[in-house]
Chain A
Amino acid sequence: MTDGKNPIYIWVNEERYEKLKELGLDKHTEERLAGMKVLTVYATNEEADRLVKEFGAKHDTSTTGSIELLPPYLKDKIFDKVVEKKSLEVVSDVLKEV
């Protein structure tokens, strides 16, 4: 996996989508099922290691390279930080605050 390209998938329902739309970030979402969208932010390898070690996440290195099973509160925090910073570059900020 290329450094900095470990995806974290954040589920986006209608309520969240409206927020992203207001910020012009809706273009970064991708529809998965019946209007449920997903927003992808990326962690560096170092951040991915920390997420696995400190938050019980699993790094799916064999297929998608994605970071799975993050605690819901942490995913909520990542989404809130995207909205706050109006940017997808948020993982390092979130990790500084938790």
Chain B
Amino acid sequence: MAEIGHGGKEIKERIMKPDEAKEKIKGLAQVPINKQIANEIIDISYGWFTPLEGFMNKKQVDSVVKDMKLPDGTLWPIPIMLDLSDKEIADYGVENGKSVVLTYQGNPMALLEVEDIFEVDRTEMCQSVFGTTEEKHPGCHRIYNCKDKFVGGKITLLKEPTINEPFGPYFLPPLKMREVIKERGWDRSVAHQTRNIPHTGHEWLMKGAFFQTHNDLPVEKPNVGVVVNAIIGEKRVKDYIDEAIILCQNELQNAGYFGPHNHLTSLTFWDMRYAGPKEAIFHAILRVNLGITHHMFGRDHAGVGDYYGGYEAHHLLESVRDQLDITPVYSMNWLYCPVCAEITSEGLCNHKDQQQKFSGTLIRSIVTDGVKPPRLIIRPEVFDRAMESANKYGAQNSPFVNEEYLETRTPVFDIEPL
């Protein structure tokens, strides 16, 4: 039976058979690409970006920038573009109607059928997608620093990536994820977007969303799952290392705070654009394609600095709900109250002057010092896993990204020779 993704389109993997791939690329120019593009090739090829079949052409980009839609009317908030320099276009003979091989780590990764080579108004694009044209916004910075031209065309993966340890079990592309959800017997699932190791505030966000999602379903059997979907992409100094994020999220299940009957850890390759409201819609689309029925959105989802209002993403989501096959679950913050003596919701507890809020800075400071906190802040098993990940994968035994980690880490995936 066909698996239907965003926009009512069937999810089809675009992956060539190995023998066919060798034959197809004979004599074609080979164009090296960077990690961001490699991530997005995986997203396109496995169906995370359904209904996209490749990098956008000018008509698609213009439509997204002007109307937040693809030309056929399907909701789409963020341009997906491949940038090349004028020199690369000339040197590799990139032309409309021709195919080229995109290479990553020196090996053939994907076939690109070139449809369009074009320029865009970058300022207009930034204003539309990010609501600002400021260079200091990381999304604008990325757009302004793209190479001279953009190249649109369909993509076909030539060889499946080798997912390196410890990420293998968490690489669940849309068709595989849908199988797993069926195997678990979940009637509903709720996506938790994360780039953190979980403290109990996060844990209760997920538990609260579990109950919100469960709602009117019968309780005789487990039929709701929390799908932790970690965004794995460009890292910045002081971020948590990817290995700690994925292993600590999964530790919540290993240690029994959740179980396989209601929890699943997974990843999506994507460089965050920090587009706030529009990125919230984009995240919803990713999770529609993963077959997830509900999606958590907290305060300032995918925001950065003070560019977006705390609930701006919620408002934009409400305005397009009929175009998204996923139910938003809006989450209030969880905090610690010494009077209640528990983690509680800001929507429940009325000891306003006693509440102790979770702060990312405070948690990072505790983790940095390696002093095991009370289990009401970070579960001891999660803390131990963070320290173990730091020793095993971090540079200078740190759970945080530093320059050395960026230079020496094992890639999340490799593209092997054909």
**Which residues of A are interface residues toward B (Cβ below 8 A)?**
9-16, 31-36, 68-69, 72, 75
Point out the residue from A10, A13, A69 that lies within 8 Å of B374, measured CB to CB.
Answer: A13
Q: A9-B365, A11-B365, A11-B366 are in contact. Are A35 and B376 (CB under 8 A)?
A: yes
Residues of A within 8 A of B358 (CB): 33
User: B71 in the interface, Cβ–Cβ < 8 Å?
Assistant: no
Task: Return 12 A-B CB contacts under 8 Å, by A number.
Answer: A11-B369, A12-B371, A13-B371, A13-B373, A32-B362, A33-B362, A33-B377, A34-B373, A34-B374, A34-B376, A34-B377, A72-B368
B372 contacts the other chain (CB 8 A): yes
Return chain A residues, CB-CB under 8 Å to B373: 11, 13, 33-34, 36
Distance between Cα atoms of A11 and B358 in the complex (Å): 15
Contact present for B376 and A75 (CB under 8 Å): no
Measured CA separation A52–B365 after assembly (Å): 17
Q: In the assembled complex, how far is the CB of residue A77 from the closest CB belonging to chain B, in whole angstroms?
A: 12
Other-chain contact of B336, A10, A33, A72 (Cβ < 8 Å): A33
Contact with A along B348-385 (1 / 0, CB 8 A): 00000000101000100110111111101100000000
Q: Which residue from chain A places its CB closest to the CB of B400 in the assembled complex?
A: A69
Cα separation A33 to B373 with both chains bound (whole Å) = 9
Lowest 7 CB-CB distances: which A-B pairs, in order?
Answer: A34-B376, A11-B371, A34-B336, A35-B374, A72-B370, A33-B356, A36-B373
**Complex interface: chain B residues within 8 A of A33 (CB):** 336, 356, 358, 362, 373, 377
Look across to chain B and name the residue whose beta carbon is closest to the beta carbon of A14. B374
* Chain B positions near chain A (C-beta within 8 angstroms): 200, 336, 338, 343, 356, 358, 362, 365-366, 368-374, 376-377
Q: Write out the residue numbers on chain B whose beta carbons fall within 8 Å of the beta carbon of A32.
A: 356, 362
Q: For B362, list chain A residues within 8 Å (CB).
A: 32-33
In the complex, the number of residue pairs spanning A and B with C-beta atoms less than 8 Å apart equals 47
Contact indicator A13/B336 (Cβ below 8 Å)? no
Known A32-B356, A33-B358, A34-B356; contact A75-B377, beta-carbon cutoff 8 A: no
Residues from chain A with a CB closer than 8 A to the CB of B368 are 69, 72
Docked Cα-Cα span, A35 to B377, in Å, equals 9
Residue from A9, A13, A36 having most chain B Cβ neighbours under 10 A: A36
* Chain A residues, Cβ within 8 Å of B374: 13-14, 34-36
Please judge, given known A-B contacts A35-B376, A36-B374, A36-B377, whether A75 and B336 are in contact too, CB under 8 Å.
no
Report A-chain residues with C-beta under 8 Å of the C-beta of B376: 34-35
Q: How far apart sit A10 and B366, CA to CA, in the bound complex (Å)?
A: 9
A35 and B336 alpha carbons, distance in the complex (Å): 10
A15 to B371, CA, bound (A): 10
- Chain B residues with CB under 8 A of A34: 200, 336, 338, 343, 356, 373-374, 376-377
Alpha-carbon distance between A10 and B369 when the two chains are bound, in angstroms: 8
Nearest-Cβ distance from residue A41 to partner chain B, whole angstroms: 13
Residues of B close to A9: CB separation below 8 A:
365
- Could you say which residues of chain B place their CB within 8 Å of the CB of A12? 371
List 18 other contacts, CB 8 Å, given A10-B369, A31-B356, A33-B362.
A9-B365, A11-B369, A11-B373, A13-B374, A14-B374, A16-B371, A32-B362, A33-B373, A34-B200, A34-B336, A34-B343, A34-B376, A34-B377, A35-B376, A36-B374, A36-B377, A72-B368, A75-B369
Give Cα distance in the complex from A72 to B356, angstroms: 25
Q: Which residue of A lies closest to B396 (CB)?
A: A71
The complex places the Cα of A25 from the Cα of B250 at a distance, in Å, of 39
